[in-house]
Structure 1
Amino acid sequence: MPMPGAVRRVAIRALEERDRRRARKAPPPDTREIRILLLHANGMGGTIRTVFNLAGHLARNHDVEIVSVVRESPEPFFDVPPGVRVRYLDDRVNGRKGILNRFRSRLTPADETASHWFTLRTDLALLRYIRGRRRGVLIGTRPALNLLIARAAGPEIITIGQEHANLASHQPETRKQILRRYGRLSALVTLTQADLRAYRKALKRRPGRLAQIPNAVTRLNGPPARRTEPVAVAIGRLNHAKGHDLLIRAWAHVHQRHPEWTLRIYGRGPREDKLRQSIEDKGLTGSVHLMGAAEDVGAALGEAAVNVLSSRREGMPMTILEAMSKAVPVVAYDCPTGPAEIITHGHDGLLVPPGKIHALADAISSLIADPDLRTKLATQAQTTAAEYDMTVIGARWDKFLRDLRDRSPEDSAG
């Protein structure tokens, strides 16, 4: 009886032979149809919001569909842009169904951050969908999806891997597969120049194109902030990476100096109970508030005088740009990739050495104590945020897609 590895090798060889036959009959590259693979389109978070934002822009001139691997909430948290359709491959609103959902994915690296979402059922659904495409563009939005389109998409398809985190943040097995398989992609897009340099250095076999295109800032409701209320705001998923535990420790020092100020933390996540306990242990119950999900980010920022990002790591933190666009001055940890490519220290925000509690407290306190500094940074920040408007970033995507369409097969090889 053949071993699973042998079966897999035979299947791969069969697919490769079929793709060679498909390639001989393949039409010229076509970008009219764009399909964006997303883990959970009905969830909440920065990646989902920015994918919806990009899809809405592309839908002006393309047939755009977001393909959600799973559906765990009945309706999308964010508004689906006009002209964009959403397709779901595995509906889990009433729980995981079928025996195949009991088995873990065989196509997703076990240490990929979202590996627990993927099952044998999603493997088969994704393979069926990807292999069924005969034209257009497939865009992946996380390593598991980028790796799958690199391995399974037919030769007619323009395959784009979009990196929403950064290479260094991925676990060993995921990085190993990235370095082995990303060279099969038509293109890889990073959010930051730092991550682009990391991929250029690490990939021995590169995709047809390596490029950096940042996410566009979402246009938020409401006017710019007045910055008159004694309120600081942090927005982000309540997990270890976002560093809210560090922020609470820093706020204990801020509270001693400025007891009239309050900190509002918007978001949900697995560390909510631990953060709540930390707030109580430090006697900050009346000063730090866990607000839950921000139903209206524009309104939340509109009531703030300071925005804080305390992340241990980032891809490209959209909350910084959103705060800047609302004229809220930002204090951010200078964590690997992201903040330093957006903020010029002392010009349109403040950067703090990563993980330094007292330095973060001092930077926040400096803005609290100096309204003129808040105004100066906020004014420059709006100019910076304008560079990330969809009119600017969307034009870069439009040109990028045209270039991919017009490249010859020889240009895209290897």
Structure 2
Amino acid sequence: MTDHPQRDIFFVSNSVDELGGVTSWSHQMARLFTERGHRVHVVGITDPDVPQELGELPYPTTTLYDVRPPRVRSASGLRGRIDVVEHRRRAERAAGMREQADRLTGLLRGARPGGVVIVTQVWAMEWVELADTDGLTVIGMSHESFAYSRSTSRFRRVLKHYEDVDRMLALTREDADLWIRQGLNNASFMPNPLPFMPEVPSPRTENVVVSIGRLHDQKGIDMLLDAWSETAPLHPDWRLRIYGSGEDEEILKKQCTALGLDDSVDWMGRTNDVPGALRGGSVFVLSSRGEGFPLAVMEAMAAGVPCAAFDCAPGVHEIIRDGEDGLLATLGNTGELARRLDTLMSDKALRDAMGEAARVNVQRFTTDAVVRGWEELFAFLER
């Protein structure tokens, strides 16, 4: 017997199987809710450019579009208003959106009372707005920090499309407060759950620094390489293993060669065995320009691997307790990040102490605690 009502929960994202942390989070939460007896359906708007392998899923998924909707330019200015081809493209896109929103409505109508729609990315909210969500709780999410969102086109879209949802969720209280100051009085926060807790932590015996993430500007691998160019000469017996793939792979490898780092950097490609990758490392590094509540950091800490990271988001300094279970550097200061790496690489006793502290401290984000928080939020919003 459960102590919570069984609900129909819909996750609506840009894509069901898009490569990236939002997709991983969505399917982790979908599995957790399914295990708690809820009925889950994961909905994507389109197929992604770069998919990830999901394996067999214990819940249904639906992708609304068979073909990606046409891209349109802004209609501002005289030229935009009289561009016949562009006008036709916008009309085609609008008609397609209405059609797919009707399809989404058909899925939502099967929900029992108390149903919830969780919109994980603001682009997807444009279709949810057009659908009939009457009688359902609608929650909109931003999986990045306020500061990083503000540097993108998503910032204005969050303010516009999440204004009337039942709750807008950031990942930290600090970010939620910043959204409230922008007028989103429905803003609150919910942290990400710990992805896994391996029974056996990393032995931290290999002279390896691990990075895991997409090879994309946001992840700052270019800055990591600059930092590594300062650290590597001090530790010729250490290696940097970079796990991930993405559109910046070629230019990053050229940068690596230009910096003379080819003999100390291993490009590992994508991995489906994150615990295994972390077991082979003694230090984890996060060099991102922006994050929300980074799963990779939580995974490393769960594996007992201390982190050196740019303090690029409230979620980072909420997870890592600087000087206790990891070390933080000022965003963009590659020299400082290099010094943080050097500190951990030079002192095995410090690595071991911080790694063990990380493994203990990160358990405050257990899946049970986070799922209960979600269920309490559902009950509160239903009143």
TM-score bracket, normalised by the shorter chain, equals: 0.7 to 0.9
Q: Which residue of 1 aligns with 2:331?
A: 354
**Other structure's SS at 1:307 match:** strand
Q: Deviations over 1:204-228 (max 9, x none)?
A: x533xx3211111211667310000
1:202 and 2:202 aligned: no
Count of aligned pairs: 355
Q: Which residue of 2 aligns with 1:178?
A: 158
**Other structure's SS at 1:265 match:** strand
Out of 132, 137, 145, the residue aligned to residue 124 of structure 2 is 145
Q: Deviations over 1:171-216 (max 9, x none)?
A: 565433432342210111111122111111112x533xx3211111
Q: Which residue of 1 aligns with 2:258?
A: 281
| Distance in 2, Cα, partners of 1:91 & 1:103 | 15
| Distance in 1, Cα, partners of 2:95 & 2:350 | 54
Q: Which residue of 2 aligns with 1:87?
A: 62
* Aligned amino acid, residue 368 of structure 2: T
| Distance in 1, Cα, partners of 2:282 & 2:153 | 43
Q: 1:34 touches 1:137 (CA, 8 Å); kept in 2?
A: yes
| Distance in 2, Cα, partners of 1:298 & 1:172 | 32
Q: Which residue of 2 aligns with 1:77?
A: 53
1:36 and 2:15 aligned: no
What's the offset of the Cα at 1:401? 1.1
* Aligned amino acid, residue 286 of structure 2: L
Q: Check 1:103–1:247 CA distance in 2 against 1; reply closer, same or farther (3 A cut).
A: closer
Q: 1:333 touches 1:354 (CA, 8 Å); kept in 2?
A: yes
**Other structure's SS at 2:46 match:** strand
- Structure 1 stretch 128-137 or stretch 354-363: which is displaced more? 128-137
Out of 330, 336, 342, the residue aligned to residue 313 of structure 2 is 336
Q: Percent identity among equivalent residues?
A: 30
Out of 52, 63, 79, the residue aligned to residue 39 of structure 2 is 63
1:313 and 2:290 aligned: yes
Out of 136, 152, 156, the residue aligned to residue 135 of structure 2 is 156
Q: Which residue of 2 aligns with 1:378?
A: 355
Out of 183, 187, 192, the residue aligned to residue 215 of structure 1 is 192
| Distance in 2, Cα, partners of 1:122 & 1:368 | 54
Structural mapping, 1:2-17, within 5 Å: none
Out of 137, 145, 148, the residue aligned to residue 169 of structure 1 is 148
Q: 2:242 touches 2:266 (CA, 8 Å); kept in 1?
A: yes
Q: 2:324 touches 2:357 (CA, 8 Å); kept in 1?
A: yes
* Aligned amino acid, residue 26 of structure 2: V
Q: Check 1:85–1:347 CA distance in 2 against 1; reply closer, same or farther (3 A cut).
A: same
**Other structure's SS at 1:291 match:** strand
Out of 73, 78, 101, the residue aligned to residue 127 of structure 1 is 101
| Distance in 2, Cα, partners of 1:74 & 1:351 | 31
What's the offset of the Cα at 1:162? 1.4
Give the unaligned 5+ runs of structure 2.
75-91
Q: Which residue of 1 aligns with 2:29?
A: 54
Q: Which residue of 2 aligns with 1:264?
A: 241
| Distance in 1, Cα, partners of 2:252 & 2:124 | 32
Q: Deviations over 1:54-93 (max 9, x none)?
A: 11111122110101222358985134553x211122246x
Q: Check 1:365–1:58 CA distance in 2 against 1; reply closer, same or farther (3 A cut).
A: same
Q: 2:97 touches 2:127 (CA, 8 Å); kept in 1?
A: no
Q: 1:150 touches 1:185 (CA, 8 Å); kept in 2?
A: no
Q: TM (normalized to structure 1)?
A: 0.80
1:248 and 2:225 aligned: yes
What's the offset of the Cα at 1:329? 0.5
Q: 2:6 touches 2:37 (CA, 8 Å); kept in 1?
A: no
Q: 2:282 touches 2:306 (CA, 8 Å); kept in 1?
A: yes
Q: TM (normalized to structure 2)?
A: 0.86
Q: Deviations over 1:121-174 (max 9, x none)?
A: 862454113433334211111111234434644331210101111333335654
Q: 1:41 touches 1:71 (CA, 8 Å); kept in 2?
A: yes
* Aligned amino acid, residue 176 of structure 1: R
| Distance in 2, Cα, partners of 1:121 & 1:306 | 51
